[in-house]
Amino acid sequence: MVWRGLEPIFWLPVDQCFNLLPIGHRQKIVNILVKYFLTYFHTTKDTDLEFCKRFDRNISHIHIPLDQYVLRNLYEKEEYRKEFKDIEIIKIGKKPPCDPNEGKRKDCPGYKFLVKGEKISWSRMNNYDIYFYVQKIIRKLSEIEKMSPIEFEMKKLWS
């Protein structure tokens, strides 16, 4: 069942289902599932070693979600921020710093992409060219650190 607003949509063609969620939200859902697999297979005795081998071979192809934590850390680290040439990451809000563990506050800064003068939130992004450009930069940064993009996100952008 797919929900649009408060009304469930039962018989919606698959191609229309994808249009209900922006790219940022779709990628976040996929990333949560991938992290669930990683956590499960690295913490259980019943690990399927063949699955882990196949997963490890493909881990470098996994994109990372472009949420506020990732954008904040890309913005705050000059060596990361300077890699973005055609798209700028900007800080919006009133009173930094803000502890992300304190929950949402109106005076906490947020981060958005600035593309040709337009501010774009990660959660509202619907342009695949922008999305792939950012993923390409993150892949480049992760290769410099000798990590997969998802390892780079967990070790460098969430620390």
Using one digit for the tens of pLDDT, what is the confidence trace for 96-154?
A: 555 556 555 555 678 899 998 899 888 888 888 898 999 999 999 999 999 989 889 88
pLDDT at 2: 47
pLDDT classification of 159: cutoffs 50, 70, 90:
low
In this structure, how many other beta carbons lie within 10 angstroms of the beta carbon of residue 120? 19
Q: For 76, what's the count of Cα atoms within 13 Å in the CB-facing half-sphere? A: 15
Instruction: Give pLDDT tens digits for 13-46.
Output: 666 666 677 887 788 888 788 778 777 776 776 6
pLDDT classification of 6: cutoffs 50, 70, 90:
very low
What residue segments make up the domains of the chain, in order of their start? 2-157
Q: Which two tokens stand for residue 103?
A: 């929950």
pLDDT at 59: 79
Q: Which helix (H) or strand (E) holds 112?
A: strand 110-115
Cβ-count burial 89-116 (b if 16+ within 10 Å, e if not): beeeeeeeebeeeeeeeeebbbbbbebe
pLDDT classification of 58: cutoffs 50, 70, 90:
confident
Report field, pTM of the whole predicted structure over 0.95:
no
Question: Is the distance from CB of 110 to CB of 100 less than 8 angstroms?
Answer: no
Alpha carbon distance 66, 135 (integer Å): 9
pLDDT classification of 8: cutoffs 50, 70, 90:
low
pLDDT at 1: 45
What beta strand segments (E) does 16-98 contain?
88-92
pLDDT at 146: 93
